[in-house]
């Protein structure tokens, strides 16, 4: 896959990114052997911003392994998260935790058009009071286990797009109020803050100035798709001041050749320059981040490649003409001497051995995410249903547990969420006997990612095409 971005677009979204990120304090990156819990609701449970962040670390910092756990549950709130803290979060013994909650705390029914004004006002006040108290309690619980806290100001509810979905006007304003509160809460606990709410809102309004039906989140006004999650990952990583370069190699081909600049890599052996070729062996300390086709749309919204994923080769003073670039005897592209002088970016070139290695890392992450998905289904049903069952119901008795869950499920028959919940109960009953196995798979696949991501030397060769 190649990625060509018009320079005018780069300039426009670089300016946009600077407007939305410039004032934010730098959030220190994760450390070697950290155990990170990503706490949240459905946007975390079913989303992949945290998976993108983890994959970035696995490709960019292969010598700094750590583990990361999805601790999101669909439909959850800040008070609900406190109820599951001891069973679902603390067992990971997190050294760092991110918290992104609020979408369900800003209860949708409060903002229904038919609701009387006085009820809307009191409902907003009550939800704010509930959210702030519960977030304080959650932060205190993390602080008590000596866990570093990173608050994430919640992603937006799109109350401005022209969509078919009912518009709960005011819900996003409530999320804004929650976001302001997070600043004071972070100060209390000496925690860090990453802002998704502001930059996503800025991008959304910019898109809707051109097309009022466009949204950075989904058609339901709530859940970002794959591109929206990459935007979130971008702002997360930018907040952590991640370096822009995978690697950079600049060579002067004049005379016997000279290395002008190396970033995050080293050349081993001899640099060989002839009138028609350049050869060298390089070991880069990182791999390019592998983008999939579903994520490419996000490149219209944020300068992910420019800011976070540059893998550059630049060669000055080549004889005029076109050159074939091979890495490990694999032809990866054809470039003019003018392009090579400016510098070519290989980060999206799927033909390179480095990119292929990144895809192997991602393939292992995909396996890990399948195990994680099973564990999150177990956690959701256990949190939303099992804990409400009569204590006499023994979870280790599959027959009794199944009967009790389906009896409870019938209470939701006819409700919009019935189908989803029925699906989750069925998946839970199938998955829960293998819970220990899924936990081990999740951990094993993460460990494997940090074994196959290790840097290896590659032989580069530029040959002039006559």
For residue 311, tell me if it sits in a domain. Answer: yes
pLDDT at residue number 80: 98
For residue 1, tell me if it sits in a domain. Answer: no
Task: Name the strand (E) or helix (H) holding 338.
Answer: helix 337-342
DSSP 196-239: SHHHHHHHHHHHHHH-TT--SS-TTSS---HHHHHHHHHHHHHH
Question: What are phi and psi for residue 84, nearest 5 degrees?
Answer: -100, 5
Last residue of a domain, one of 239, 274, 297: 239
Q: Does the pLDDT value for residue 16 go beyond 80?
A: no
Which of 106, 50, 41 lies closest to 76 in space, CA to CA?
A: 41
Which of 217, 234, 210 lies closest to 172 in space, CA to CA?
A: 217
What b-and-e string marks burial along 311-344, b requiring 16 or more CB atoms within 10 Å of the CB? bbbbbbebeeeebebbbeeeebbebebeebbeeb
Instruction: Say yes or no: 365 and 344 in one domain.
Output: no
Instruction: Say yes or no: 53 and 170 in one domain.
Output: yes
Contact 318, 340 (CB under 8 A): yes
Collapsing DSSP to helix, strand or coil, 109 comes out as: helix
59-92 confidence digits (pLDDT tens) = 999 999 999 999 999 999 999 999 999 999 999 9
Please tell me the pTM assigned to this model: 0.94
Sheet holding 35-40, edge to edge: 67-72, 35-40, 96-100, 148-153, 192-195
Contact 44, 224 (CB under 8 A): no
Q: Does the pLDDT value for residue 22 go beyond 80?
A: no
Alpha carbon 362 to its chain centroid, in Å, reads 13
Q: How far apart are CA 39 and CA 54, in angstroms?
A: 14
Instruction: Say yes or no: 216 and 68 in one domain.
Output: yes
Instruction: Say yes or no: 166 and 63 in one domain.
Output: yes
pLDDT at residue number 7: 32
DSSP 387-423: GGS-TTS-TT-HHHHHHHHHHHHGGGTTSTTHHHHHH
pLDDT at residue number 275: 81
Contact 89, 60 (CB under 8 A): no
Token pair of 329 as six digits: 């005897």
Last residue of a domain, one of 194, 217, 239: 239
Q: Which domain holds residue 310?
A: 245-354+452-465
Average pLDDT over residues 120-145: 97
pLDDT at residue number 269: 85
CATH number at residue 328: 2.60.40
Instruction: Say yes or no: 138 and 49 in one domain.
Output: yes
156-177 confidence digits (pLDDT tens) = 999 999 999 999 999 999 999 9
113-122 confidence digits (pLDDT tens) = 999 999 999 9
Which of 76, 74, 104 lies closest to 427 in space, CA to CA?
A: 74
For residue 2, tell me if it sits in a domain. Answer: no
Residue 24: pLDDT band (50, 70, 90) is low
Q: Does the pLDDT value for residue 221 go beyond 70?
A: yes
Q: What is the mean pLDDT of the chain?
A: 93
For residue 257, tell me if it sits in a domain. Answer: yes
Instruction: Say yes or no: 458 and 386 in one domain.
Output: no
Instruction: Say yes or no: 106 and 218 in one domain.
Output: yes
- The DSSP call for residue 24 is S
For residue 117, tell me if it sits in a domain. Answer: yes
For residue 202, tell me if it sits in a domain. Answer: yes
Token pair of 140 as six digits: 């205190």
Instruction: Say yes or no: 456 and 394 in one domain.
Output: no
Please tell me the least confidently modeled range out of 74-78, 188-192, 274-278, 401-405.
Answer: 274-278
Average pLDDT over residues 273-278: 90
Q: Does the pLDDT value for residue 320 go beyond 90?
A: yes
Q: How far apart are CA 254 and CA 258, in angstroms?
A: 8
Look at the chain and report how many structural domains it folds into: 3
Instruction: Say yes or no: 160 and 280 in one domain.
Output: no
Rg (CA), the chain: 25
Average pLDDT over residues 246-256: 93
Please tell me the least confidently modeled range out of 136-150, 236-250, 251-265.
Answer: 251-265
Question: What's the sign of the alpha-carbon dihedral 185, 189, 195, 196?
Answer: negative
Q: How far apart are CA 162 and CA 48, in angstroms?
A: 26
For residue 63, tell me if it sits in a domain. Answer: yes
Instruction: Say yes or no: 337 and 406 in one domain.
Output: no
pLDDT at residue number 417: 86
Last residue of a domain, one of 239, 266, 291: 239
Instruction: Say yes or no: 154 and 90 in one domain.
Output: yes
184-203 confidence digits (pLDDT tens) = 999 999 999 999 999 999 99
Contact 279, 460 (CB under 8 A): yes
Average pLDDT over residues 412-428: 92
Instruction: Say yes or no: 324 and 458 in one domain.
Output: yes
Q: Does the pLDDT value for residue 25 go beyond 50?
A: yes
For residue 84, tell me if it sits in a domain. Answer: yes
């Amino acid at each position: 896959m190649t990625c060509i971005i018009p320079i005018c677009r780069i300039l426009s979204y670089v300016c946009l990114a600077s407007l939305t990120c410039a004032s934010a304090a730098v959030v220190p990156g994760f450390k070697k052997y950290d155990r990170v819990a990503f706490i949240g609701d459905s946007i975390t449970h079913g989303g992949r911003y945290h998976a993108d962040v983890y994959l970035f670390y696995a490709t960019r910092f292969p010598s700094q392994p750590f583990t990361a756990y999805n601790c999101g549950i669909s439909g959850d709130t800040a008070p609900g998260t406190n109820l599951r803290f001891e069973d679902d979060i603390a067992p990971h013994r997190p050294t760092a935790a991110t918290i992104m909650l609020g979408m369900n705390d800003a209860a949708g029914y409060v903002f229904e058009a038919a609701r009387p004004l006085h009820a809307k006002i009191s409902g907003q006040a009550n939800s704010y009071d509930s959210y702030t108290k519960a977030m304080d309690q959650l932060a205190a619980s993390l602080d008590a286990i000596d866990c570093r806290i990173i608050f994430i100001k919640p992603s937006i509810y799109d109350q401005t797009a022209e969509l078919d979905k009912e518009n709960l006007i005011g819900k996003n304003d409530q999320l804004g109020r929650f976001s302001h509160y997070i600043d004071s809460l972070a100060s209390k606990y000496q925690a860090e803050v990453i802002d998704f709410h502001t930059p996503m809102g800025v991008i959304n309004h910019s898109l809707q100035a051109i097309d009022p039906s466009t949204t950075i989140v989904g058609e339901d006004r709530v859940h970002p798709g794959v591109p929206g999650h990459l935007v979130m990952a971008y702002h997360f990583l930018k907040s952590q001041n991640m370096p822009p370069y995978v690697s950079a190699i600049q060579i002067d081909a004049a005379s016997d050749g000279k290395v002008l600049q190396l970033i995050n890599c080293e050349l081993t052996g001899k640099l060989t320059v002839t009138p028609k070729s350049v050869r060298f062996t390089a070991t880069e300390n990182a791999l390019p981040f592998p983008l999939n086709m579903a994520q490419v749309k996000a490149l219209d919204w944020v300068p992910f490649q420019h800011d976070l994923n540059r893998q550059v080769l630049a060669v000055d003073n080549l004889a005029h003409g076109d050159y074939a670039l091979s890495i490990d005897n694999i032809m990866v592209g054809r470039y003019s001497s003018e392009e090579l002088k400016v510098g070519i970016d290989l980060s999206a070139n799927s033909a390179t051995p480095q990119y292929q290695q990144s895809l192997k890392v991602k393939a292992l992450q995909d396996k890990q995410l399948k195990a994680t998905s099973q564990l999150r289904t177990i956690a959701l049903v256990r949190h939303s249903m099992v804990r409400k069952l009569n204590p006499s119901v023994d979870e280790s008795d599959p027959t009794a547990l199944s009967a009790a869950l389906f009896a409870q499920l019938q209470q939701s028959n006819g409700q919009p969420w019935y189908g989803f919940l029925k699906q989750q109960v069925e998946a839970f009953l199938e998955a829960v006997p293998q819970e220990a196995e899924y936990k081990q798979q999740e951990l094993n696949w993460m460990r494997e990612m940090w074994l196959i991501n290790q840097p290896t030397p590659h032989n580069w060769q530029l040959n002039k095409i006559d």
